[in-house]
Structure 1
């Protein structure tokens, strides 16, 4: 697994000067050398832990897939004909035609997408490029504008000539009947990949689905998860916030069984589809997993004592009431390992305080920098229960 200690090597990857650096609110650290960015994020996380009086790990490690051109998923806003990100000083969209955050394939998709003249004042778009290079777009507009888009017809026909299109919060798919466009139910396609060692696992979802932003950086995440689950031989894993299964598959590869818990029905449908489409060499993993749908942040029906590893990737709000049942168990009844992944270190730190009270200590911590040039970062933490 790559563990880059000399991050200055990546400064060479960011050769072009961003033409929007003075105005765009997307990148906050463009003027900071990449090595210093990593150290700053590491220091910020360390200070959060210290401020919460958490027992510190031996070191906070860092992983990176590069300083630029990582994103294979892009969220842009439309405002009065301008397509881009918000201005750093005011609530106004800055028109952006090139961004060094994007992978080359996504930049080309943006170039073509910008040729469309949108007859609406505001809206938002998600552009995505699949692992195999397929283009997708999710269009989110007001209902009256969605109807106008369906009636106008030409924009959708042009888009569908080279991309898969989803519309609205319900992720509907426009279908041409020969005389008009109709919206049908969401479809699952391969828009992302997980990893089991050297084998890629296709993940079925929608263009609008939540995924990590980068194919390249995501492989590093999968490698870390697999290596941590491997520390608990013959383990029984319970996963919360499984989504479409990005962490599920590397965990499954090392576990005897896994219970995947998720509230979003479309995500679980995608996970089931991915399980049914596993490559032959991984087909046995399907028999190791069970799926549970429910809001684990509010109510938990599972008994933690039946598991060896808890794997959690919660939303920004953190785990909330999810940890309450853990407090009710004796020390020996609690699972030995807790794996926690989050892009919001503040709520994560709050949860780590609770886990510390339950007898868990951080063994390994990684910062995964899949948001270079910004103040954001992913944190992966392995905790182990103190031995009684």
Structure 2
């Protein structure tokens, strides 16, 4: 798992000037990185935060995404245009991995009897094709009743339908929708070994398998700095950060509100390869809304691992303020794709006596304004 060496002068071309997906196509990749780093530094400085030199992590300047979310509108498949509600019809995208690009081209051959809807295409770690059709109920019924289109699609891909992620199954009387099915759609790492993550096509994952190796490597390295650490994780999801932490920690309590995500995490742990099975007993899973109420005493843990939604940690940090300084966990690992809410939380952590020890900017969304931030904070010794 190594950071890619990227020529900073490289430029990516795109035939769609009106697409809202990429805003930095006019910049070289090196200029994009410099701009994102400057933006992060300015944001942290405005919040009065002291930070170390920001490390840049990159898996390449393009072709990273193994998951594509796009819209269907009036026969057009693509993303919304800039400052408009019209869809830009997209057949090729430099954001996509070669495998996902091929899957998109294949998928575009299907003609859907639907006016509008949302679609996700996904490539699994072993080349599996997945599609999630998030259409209105009346359109789902139309597709199930017509049957021919869906049967063609299921010959080449695994299909999920609707917000409940139902799986269409053909019977003698036609299609029936069955409960969601867990499959290997993503992968993380435990030390230097890849680990399968069971989830749904519709599950939240990082967008890129390739870039995710850098995330797992960083989490593992940071937790390893604190031998035999007891870690509590908030926003565990399907376990993308849980597994790297589990390999390094003495115990992990994983907290998540989404039941389907936790079902995936439980299966992933049960399916660990034989040489990693010993880590399964170190994991405790807790379901609950960590942004509102914490049922655990932070003083029981040596470290906190958090990957919250865009809204940030909200009330999660309040119990830390109630503890004496020497009762607070020694370290705090915070990962976020929304630096604005992260900076607010980091300012609160500063009040709790935490200082930023390491900071990394992961550019897994090249050409766009977005990026991931990973920080390691440590409680000041008193």
Query: Structure 1-normalised TM-score?
Result: 0.97
User: Alignment partner for residue 178 of structure 2, among 174, 181, 184?
Assistant: 184
Q: 8 Å contact 1:297–1:322 — kept in the other structure?
A: yes
Distance 1:30 1:382 in 2: 31
Q: 8 Å contact 1:10–1:67 — kept in the other structure?
A: no
Partner in structure 1 of residue 344 of structure 2: 350
Partner in structure 1 of residue 15 of structure 2: 19
Distance 2:63 2:328 in 1: 42
Distance 2:9 2:97 in 1: 15
2:7 is paired with a residue of what secondary structure? helix
1:315-326 pair list within 5 angstroms? 315-326=309-320
User: Alignment partner for residue 59 of structure 2, among 37, 58, 65?
Assistant: 65
Distance 2:277 2:9 in 1: 38
Q: 8 Å contact 2:19–2:88 — kept in the other structure?
A: yes
1:211-230 pair list within 5 angstroms? 211-230=205-224
Partner in structure 2 of residue 48 of structure 1: 43
Q: 8 Å contact 1:129–1:136 — kept in the other structure?
A: yes
Deviations 1:80-122 (Å, cap 9, x if unpaired)? Answer: 1100011013111000001111111101110110001111110
1:83 is paired with a residue of what secondary structure? strand
1:190-209 pair list within 5 angstroms? 190-209=184-203
Distance 1:161 1:233 in 2: 49
1:20-39 pair list within 5 angstroms? 20=16, 22-39=17-34
Q: How far off its partner does 1:199 sit?
A: 0.9
Runs of 5+ unmatched residues, structure 1: none
Partner in structure 1 of residue 84 of structure 2: 90
Using a 3 Å threshold, how does the CA distance of structure 1 residues 370 and 10 change in structure 2: closer, same or farther? Answer: farther
Does residue 300 of structure 2 align to residue 306 of structure 1? yes
CA RMSD, Structure 1 to Structure 2 (Å)? 1.1
2:106 is paired with a residue of what secondary structure? helix
Does residue 277 of structure 2 align to residue 278 of structure 1? no
Deviations 1:162-218 (Å, cap 9, x if unpaired)? Answer: 000000000000000023000000000000001012211000000000000000000
Deviations 1:243-275 (Å, cap 9, x if unpaired)? Answer: 000000100111000000000001000000000
Q: How far off its partner does 1:7 sit?
A: 4.3
Deviations 1:9-48 (Å, cap 9, x if unpaired)? Answer: 5727x4xx2111x111110001100011011111000000
1:244-263 pair list within 5 angstroms? 244-263=238-257
Partner in structure 2 of residue 127 of structure 1: 121
Distance 2:324 2:226 in 1: 20
Give the paired residue count.
382
* More off after superposition, 214-223 vs 173-182: 173-182
1:166-185 pair list within 5 angstroms? 166-185=160-179
Runs of 5+ unmatched residues, structure 2: none
Partner in structure 2 of residue 360 of structure 1: 354
Q: 8 Å contact 1:130–1:190 — kept in the other structure?
A: yes
Moved over 6 A (4+): none
1:11 is paired with a residue of what secondary structure? coil
Deviations 1:304-360 (Å, cap 9, x if unpaired)? Answer: 000001000000000000000010000000000000000000000000000000000
Q: How far off its partner does 1:56 sit?
A: 2.2
